[in-house]
Amino acid sequence: MASIRLETFLVPDRGRNFKGLSRQFAFTTDAENPMNKLDQIIADIKKLERELFDELQKKQDEYFYVIKGKKIHFEKETLRYHKTLATKLHVYLANASIPVMLTAPIIWACLIPALMMDVVVSVYHSTCFRVYGIPLVKRSDYIVIDRHSLQYLNPIEKLNCFYCSYFNGLIAYVQEIAARSEQYWCPIKHARKSNINHGRYHKFIEYGDSQYYQERLVELRKSFDDLPG
């Protein structure tokens, strides 16, 4: 059942000054039901994501490989077939356009700030999260390097895939660290809608809900029970 609460604010006297004037504004809350509609939608999305992951894992059987620990094993016949599909280096380079090849130094130059960001964020993560009591982010859940096992890729393609895996994984890893940091320091939703929100955003307090922010800030800083152990 929804409840009504009153908040008192100082308001300016026709834009001149506050002069101790106050008015009361009513806000509707759903205090008796913490799982509101938005939380239910988020829960449904996460359930669908798990189902999607399970379906993707079934592709192992379809493409004749198994995952053992961190290693991927293809059937021998499949490996032999894959090797016949790999493009020879001289053919690959001969077919590459010159403008694309000239962009290679620019692309790889991005690796330098990425490595610097990796070091700085990792130091912050491993030290400050322990102080704040925030659960650590498991790096291997985000940075996954496994495409080098594909024998139908030539050495250049494997190197490119390694770079893309690291860079995109790093961005996801940093985003999760930033998301948990934001939940600790500023768990408030934006007034203007963003095209993408991180996985902690649904826990944040509505923009402008001052009383709820004061009441729940300490609780939200510890609210990480939904994370996998």
Residue 177's contacts (CB-CB under 8 Å, 6 or more residues apart) are: 121, 124, 125, 129, 137
Rounded to 5 degrees, what are φ and ψ at 71?
-105, 145
Rounded to 5 degrees, what are φ and ψ at 138?
-80, 110
Indicate the pTM of the whole model: 0.73
Per-residue pLDDT of the chain (229 residues; tens, 9 = 90+): 445 555 554 545 544 444 444 455 555 544 445 447 777 787 788 788 888 877 777 776 666 677 777 778 788 888 899 999 999 999 999 999 999 999 999 999 999 999 999 999 999 999 999 999 999 999 999 999 999 889 999 999 999 999 999 999 999 999 999 999 999 999 999 999 888 888 898 889 999 999 989 999 999 999 998 887 6
- How much is the pLDDT for 20? 46
Number of neighbouring beta carbons within 10 Å of residue 112: 9
Q: Judge whether 156 and 92 are in contact, CB under 8 Å.
A: yes
Each domain of the chain, given as residue ranges in start order, spans 1-33, 97-229
Q: Judge whether 135 and 188 are in contact, CB under 8 Å.
A: no
Q: Judge whether 181 and 206 are in contact, CB under 8 Å.
A: no
Rounded to 5 degrees, what are φ and ψ at 65?
-140, 160
